[in-house]
Amino acid sequence: MYIDVLTIFPEMVKLLSQWGILSRAIQGGHLNLRAINIRDFTTDKRRSTDDAPYGGGPGMVMKPEPVVKAIEYAKREREKGTAILMTPQGRRFTQEMAHLLSTHPHLILVCGRYEGIDERIRHFVDEEISIGDYVLTGGELPAFVLIDAVVRLIPGVLGNESSTREESFSTGLLEYPQYTRPQIFRDLPVPEILLSGHHKKIQEWRRQMAIQRTQERHPDLYKRYFHHHLDKEK
């Protein structure tokens, strides 16, 4: 997979690529992660990517010319590029969306800054995605969240494909509780069922705990799961 991050802070992308799963994905040939500096597509001596908003108001707005030129450059470089604007106004990012994006050969993540972007930039992207209902200082951190969630789903990146199938949201439920050694920690024991060696009973316990935890902590998710299974039984 190819991922281009369009940003005015390319150093952030370089730092991200040096650690953990992303570093292993790059070294293993599963991921080509590149920063494209939006300033490289400016035309003035100051390499300005922002200007005052028409109509007045606080802050500065990202200019359309350098951003759109950067998108066009990324799309010319490789075929079938999907340009995604990271914005609070976009569709909410979900695990289902991460699975879908992991099948794309080339993602182009556009990171805004300042007070916002010129509205006309939206005409040159294929998708707008939000990671939540809050405001950050730029699109880089949301882009990194998306990259991390997507790249780990690429076959071969994690090594154990069953890991991604059993995680929270992959089954429509939160993940069941996990335990490891020691068997008792500060008077808190591991549930006996996990020590039984009875795999069928362990699987059923895990499923029930996942359902219970989802119902308690994420009732909207549980409601979707419940109705989905009702529909399947009809």
DSSP string covering 94-152: -HHHHHHHTT-SEEEEEE--TTEE-GGGGGG-SEEEESSSS--S-SHHHHHHHHHHHHT
Lookup: tokens for 137: 């200082």
Residue of higher predicted confidence among 173 and 167? 173
The mean per-residue pLDDT over the stretch 28-35 comes to 97
Distance between CA atoms of residues 141 and 12, nearest Å: 9
pTM of the predicted model, to two decimals? 0.87
Lookup: tokens for 91: 């569709």
Distance between CA atoms of residues 192 and 232, nearest Å: 33
Q: The domain at 2-151 falls in which architecture?
A: 3-Layer(aba) Sandwich (3.40)
The pLDDT of residue 168: 54
Distance between CA atoms of residues 225 and 219, nearest Å: 10
Q: pLDDT grade, residue 163 (50/70/90)?
A: low
- Whether residue 177 has pLDDT greater than 70: yes
**Percent of the chain surpassing pLDDT 70:** 93
The pLDDT of residue 228: 74
The mean per-residue pLDDT over the stretch 27-44 comes to 97
The pairing of beta strand 61-62 with beta strand 106-111? unpaired
By C-alpha distance, which of 111, 90, 100 is closest to 36? 111
SS3 37: strand
**What fold is seen in the domain 166-233?**
Trp Operon Repressor; Chain A (1.10.1270)
Lowest-confidence range among 32-41, 78-87, 148-157?
78-87
Q: pLDDT grade, residue 77 (50/70/90)?
A: confident
Residues of each domain in the chain carrying CATH 1.10.1270.20: 166-233
Residues of each domain in the chain carrying CATH 3.40.1280.10: 2-151
